[in-house]
Amino acid sequence: MKESCEPNCHFAEIVRASNAAIFSVTPECRFESWNPGAEALFGYASEDVRGRDVLMIFPEDRLAEAVANHARAIAGKAFRWETIARHKSSRLMEVAMSLAPMRDDNEKITGVCAVAQKLTKHRMTARANSNHVDKRQLLERARLGAVARERKRIGQQLHDHLCQQLLGAAFAAKALSNSLPPASDATAEADELARLVNSAVQQVRDITRGLNHATTRSAANSKRR
């Protein structure tokens, strides 16, 4: 019995001597153990937390994710989680927690072991910069999307309205030319008018194709960002 206990005793000594905040939580979400590192990080003595709900160290807006992550660990998942925790003084702090299920000799899950550490200023700055970049990318995608939609709208209006009206004017000019005496100045002017209107129709079609091409290219670039 003594030999089987020694490894656990050594492990307990390591946990007590560690500067890291290490604590265990029951399946019912209550503190079971709490080392000096946890006392230093959160400000609570061991006797202050043992048997109490683990949610006491989280602000209200983090309670749901704390419960969900406790359930994940109880289900057998081991993972790292960055969140906001609350010190005994009510001061909020950014922490990283590594959660893992605890098992007995029969591999039955008996609780959750957590190792917590306060995020360094460097790590918080890096994450803030990353969030800033993500927001900037989202804004850029939104801008490109709005530009693409406006181009598509303009191209559609040019095709559906201006182009159709110009075609009508070209047909009218051609009909006028056919009704006039051949080889007359008026006929030549009507033919020239029909030619100019048809040229304008082609220009509108070219502009529409250019807008559609730019819209497609902008959408492709947005997806790659």
- pLDDT, tens digit (0-9, with 9 covering 90-100), for 157-203: 766 777 777 777 777 877 877 888 877 888 888 778 878 877 877 88
Q: What is the pLDDT of residues 42-62, one digit of tens each?
A: 999 999 999 999 999 999 999
Lowest mean pLDDT among 96-105, 152-161, 187-196: 152-161
Domain 2-119 has CATH 3.20.20.70: no
Lowest mean pLDDT among 36-40, 115-119, 133-137: 133-137
User: How far, in Å, are 70, 107, 119 from residue 75 at the CA level?
Assistant: 9, 12, 26
Say yes or no to pLDDT of 83 above 90.
yes
Could you tell me if 83 and 62 are in contact, meaning their C-beta atoms sit under 8 angstroms apart? yes
Q: What is the pLDDT of residue 6?
A: 42
Q: Tell me if the pTM is above 0.85.
A: no
| Amino acid code (one letter) for 22 | I
Close Cβ partners of 50 (under 8 Å, ≥ 6 residues apart):
31, 32, 33, 34
Q: What is the pLDDT of residue 21?
A: 94
Band the pLDDT of 151: cuts 50, 70, 90: confident
% of the chain exceeding 70 in pLDDT: 80
Say yes or no to pLDDT of 71 above 50.
yes
Could you tell me if 177 and 197 are in contact, meaning their C-beta atoms sit under 8 angstroms apart? no
| Amino acid code (one letter) for 207 | I
